[in-house]
Each structure stands twice: as structure tokens, then as C-alpha cells.
Chains A and B, each alone.
Chain A
């Protein structure tokens, strides 16, 4: 998916360049928090790993083979900020050294392949790990789903960029169908390999997997034939709030997915009440077409997927996914701000006491 020069017009390339630069600045700061002063060598070595693993070919069948893109893998293994950084550095070096991806298209490539894949996969991963039982297996399952969604998400992002600044008037629906269709297949391979790789690392060095940090087992001592919890050196703040919400999370997510994906298969194809009334009374004659009616998800159907039910269901699932990602990021930001202000409040009196 390395975009060459001339594929996306100059203003859009410049805009994505600005986005990429901003995201890189944020992740440089975030990576220092994830890796402290070891950032340079560790992120460099992880980037080298991503670079090498992209060359590892996985045979699919009958002579064809694919390779890993690595955004989801990086995000889960070393954290989202370092992940963005590593994949971006790989893309930068591929562009400058190997002429893989154009120099002016660097912004497009970084936005698409480093930022979107990593952010989407990490958001999905975090959400799933919260929802699933706290076991190692759920980390593997979560990384499967995260990687599965990250690749089509990059394809969607590419389609959007193409819709804004593509240099050819290929109908956007066709681009979307081709890109997303192919990348759903690629995503399946990516998902299997990512999950297996994360599983392999968890089996040997679970402490290295950034996404599995919450899973550390309490140390147990055998005292007189019985297992006793070792006295914790520094008791961690119990994630009570997160736990109590888990059931709610699961129910909400599953319900909305079921509703959006499956029930809409069987939903009535006739227009809903208001639309029907409007049609009967002729008041929709002057209704202007919605500004987004050309978008690939317009009228709740993925364009060019002819089976109406399948298309509606797919659009529903994608919609729920996007909503969950947006909603949880808003929630996350709000909660962070609240906890930050709380810690600030709680820390001020203690500092006065000292």
C-alpha cells in the first residue's frame, strides 16, 4: 500500500504531511513516557524488528504469499506511541532509502499505514481487553480482532484520502470496494499471524507485551501446604471502577453489534415512518440531497455490495465500530482529565504537608 508520488494531489499530500508531523510529535512525547530514557535504542530496535518482519513471507496457498504490515503488532507489543513511531520510521527509511513510497506521499503513507492502523488496532485492543475476562487467552483474542480491523481501517482511510485528493476520477465506490475487499482478506492473514506472534511472546516473556501489563499474576507463597497471597510490596490501586462497568460494556457492545449486524438483515426494506409520510405528502420533493449522500456508507449500505441485507449489516457493524472507537476515546479523554485533576488536588496538600 505504499503510495507513490503523483497519486494524491499536492494540497492533500501537504495536509496529510501536517497531520503526520503532528502525530509524530505527540508520539515522540508519548514514547518517552512508555520507554523513558531507553526510547532511542529500544524504539530503534523495534523498528528494525518491524522492518525485518515485513520481509518474512507467509505462504498463503499455491505459490502466493503475503507479509505482515505490523502496525497492530507494534501497538500491542510496545504500546501505541512507540508503535506509531516505529512504523513511521520504517516508512521514512523505506521512502528515502529504498524509494518505496514517494517522498511527497510520505505524509499520506504515514497517516494511512502508521497512524490509522496503530490507533485503530490499539483502541479496539484496549476495548476488548477491558471487556473480556482477564486471562492471557483474551489478549490473544483481542489482538486477533484488533489486527483484523486495523487493515481494512487503513483501506478506508486511504479511500477517504483518495476521495479528497485523488488525481483520477475513478468512482469512489469502486475504489472503496476494491481496497476494502482486498484488505479484508489481507486483514485475516494479518490477524492470524499477529495473534499467534503475540501468543508466542506472551508464552515466553509476558512482561514484554505492553498490552498485557494488567495481567500480571499476584505472587503466591506456599505456606504449610496452602497457597497464600504474598504480601504486596506496594498495593496497586484496584481497578474496581473498570470492573464494575465490564458487564455493562459487554452487554452494550454485543447488543449493538447484534442489532446493527444481524437484525438489520431482516429489517424492513420499506422506508421508515417519517420518510414514508414525507414521500406520500410530497414534502420531500424539495429536500436537498444530503451532503454525505455520496459517501461510501450513504443510506446505511456499503456501496457496490449488491446484496442489500449483507450491505446493510456490514454498514451497521462498521458504524457501531466507529461509534465505539469515537465514544470510548471521548470517554477516555474525559476520564484522564478528571483523574489528572484529582491527582493534582490530592498531591497538593501532601506536598504542603512535606
Chain B
């Protein structure tokens, strides 16, 4: 709690990327991922160029490579799936190190690995250079329904509170000698989940009353309207535009 109300993925900084308005960054990241996904998978060099582009953004944002690589680990479950693909896919087969692998499967695995990794890297860069509140403001600016943004902001604000409540319940269970070892202990855990739901719901009612007593009438006041100048838009969209050039080259060559 002493670390301020920033999420763990955010990395404090004052780089040009950090200071860009959030909605330009959101739009840029989304456009970049769309371009990456629509690139033909045979153009291997294109994906290398995308990685170089992202590395350039990371350098400008002063996000160290180790930080970025550690965050990429979230992808591991799907890497496992991708590794399986060459074994189960159909079609022409090749022999690699004595194993019969499907050519289509190898291409598919490469496709998922390359595009997935680039997508995760783009979101990690976005999350590590943009504060939570700013992200929500950016989503609102991008015309997401205000109610949805409000729900998301409540989820973000109270996510840590609820997770902490869950942690306290776990400590209470453990200090009474409880250790969940198997299916037989599911009842206790499920009762905790039920208690957590009741606490969250009642907290929601209290939060609503507190908001009403402070004059809430269905919409949140916007204090700091974010706006972006033409220069900011163009510097944010430099990334997807460069990626688009690479993608077009990939289709033509």
C-alpha cells in the first residue's frame, strides 16, 4: 500500500512515451496489433522488423529489456499449445531430428508464437507507460460507453481491496491450521468465496450510498479532460504507420 496507487505493471517515468495522451497510445497499440495480425506468416523478416520497432519504442520509453522480457512470461500456456501444433496438424510432413512434424503445423506454431508475442509485448509496453487512471480516461475518450468505463474503474479501484480481503481470509484460515490439500477442502474455500461475494456486494451498496450522498447522479464528473494535439497524435501513430508499411511490403514481396 505504501507504493501509491499504481498497478504493478506501471513503470514510473517521464519519457516522451509516458507523456503522450493515453487515448493516442491505446489507439496506436490497438492499430499496431491489428497490423501485426494481418501480416502473412511467410514474411518472417516482417516480424523481425516489428520486434525492432517495438524495441525502439521501449528504448524511447526507457523500459529496460529485462522488465519487458519478464512480463512476456504470461504467454507460456499458449506457447505450450503452440509447441504441440506441429505434432497434431495434418498435411505434408517433414522429418526434424527424427520426429515427423507437419509443415502446416510448424507454420501455425510460428504464426501464433510470433503474433502472440508481439501482441503481448505491445500491451506490456502500453501498460508499463500508462497509469491506470489515465488508461480509463483514454478508454472514455475513445468513446467506450461511460457506464462500462465506470464499472471498469470501480473494478480497478476495488480490485486490490477485494484481493486483500481474500488474502486476509487466507491468513485467518491458515492461522487456524487449515491447509487446502485436495478436493475434500473445497467446501471451506467455497465458503470463503461466498463470504467474499457477500462482502463485495455489501461494499458495493455502501459505495453507492456514499456516492449518492456526495451528489452522484449517474455520471462521474470529468475533471481533467485529456486532449491530444496533432503532433502528439502523429508521434503516437508513427508506430502503427511504420508497421503498416512493413505489412504492405510483406504482402507484396
Contacts and interface: CB of A to CB of B under 8 A. Distances in A.
Nearest to A208: B201
Q: Give the interface size class of chain B.
A: 35 or more
B194 A197 contact: yes
Contacts of B154: 40-41, 43-45, 47-48
Interface stretch (A92-100, A229-237, A312-320, A322-330): A92-100
B228 interface: no
Interface residues of A, number: 71
A89 B111 contact: no
A193 interface: yes
Interface string B82-118: 0001001111000000000000110111011011101
A100 B74 contact: yes
Nearest to A90: B155
Interface string A81-94: 00001100110110
Nearest to B109: A168
A51 B90 contact: no
Interface of B: 7, 9, 26, 29-30, 33-34, 36-38, 41, 71, 74-75, 78, 85, 88-91, 104-105, 107-109, 111-112, 114-116, 118-120, 122-124, 126-127, 132, 135, 145, 147-148, 150-159, 161-163, 165-166, 180-183, 185-187, 189-198, 200-201, 203-205, 207-208, 211, 218
A92 B119 contact: no
Given A96-B123, A102-B120, A208 B198 contact: yes
A53 B85 contact: no
Nearest to A7: B112
Contacts of A208: 197-198, 201
Contacts of B85: 168, 170
Given A28-B148, A45-B207, A196-B187, A52 B116 contact: no
Contacts, number: 257
Contacts of A103: 29-30, 33, 119, 122-123
B37 A51 contact: no
A251 interface: no
Interface centre among B105, B156, B195, B200 (most CB of A within 10 A): B200
A150 to B, nearest CB: 17
B162 A48 contact: yes
A205 interface: yes
Interface string A197-233: 1111101110010000000000000000000000000
A38 interface: yes
Contacts of B116: 4-7, 102
| Best-buried of A7, A45, A56 by chain B (most CB within 10 Å) | A45
Interface in A7-48: 7, 9-10, 13, 24-25, 28, 32, 37-48
A4 B112 contact: yes
B152 A44 contact: yes
Given A53-B197, A68-B193, A89-B152, 8 more contacts: A42-B201, A55-B166, A61-B182, A99-B120, A102-B116, A104-B37, A168-B104, A205-B201
Specify the main secondary structure of chain A where it touches its partner.
Answer: helix
Nearest to B185: A59
A49 interface: yes
Contacts of A247: none
A197 to B, nearest CB: 5
A200 B193 contact: yes
Contacts of A201: 194, 197-198
**Leading 7 A-B pairs by shortest Cβ distance:** A44-B154, A6-B115, A168-B108, A200-B194, A5-B119, A196-B190, A45-B204
B207 A96 contact: no
A58 B189 contact: yes
Interface of A: 2, 4-7, 9-10, 13, 24-25, 28, 32, 37-49, 51-53, 55-56, 58-61, 68, 77-78, 85-86, 89-90, 92-93, 95-100, 102-105, 167-171, 174, 192-193, 196-201, 203-205, 208
Nearest to A53: B193
B91 to A, nearest CB: 6
B135 A96 contact: yes
B188 to A, nearest CB: 9
A272 to B, nearest CB: 32
Contact of B151 (A58, A60, A85, A200): A85
B197 A43 contact: no
Given A99-B127, A170-B108, A42 B205 contact: yes
6 contacts: A98-B74, A98-B127, A103-B29, A167-B112, A168-B111, A201-B194
A43 B203 CA distance: 11
Contact of A6 (B105, B111, B181, B194): B111
Nearest to A85: B151
Contacts of A60: 182-183
B33 A46 contact: no
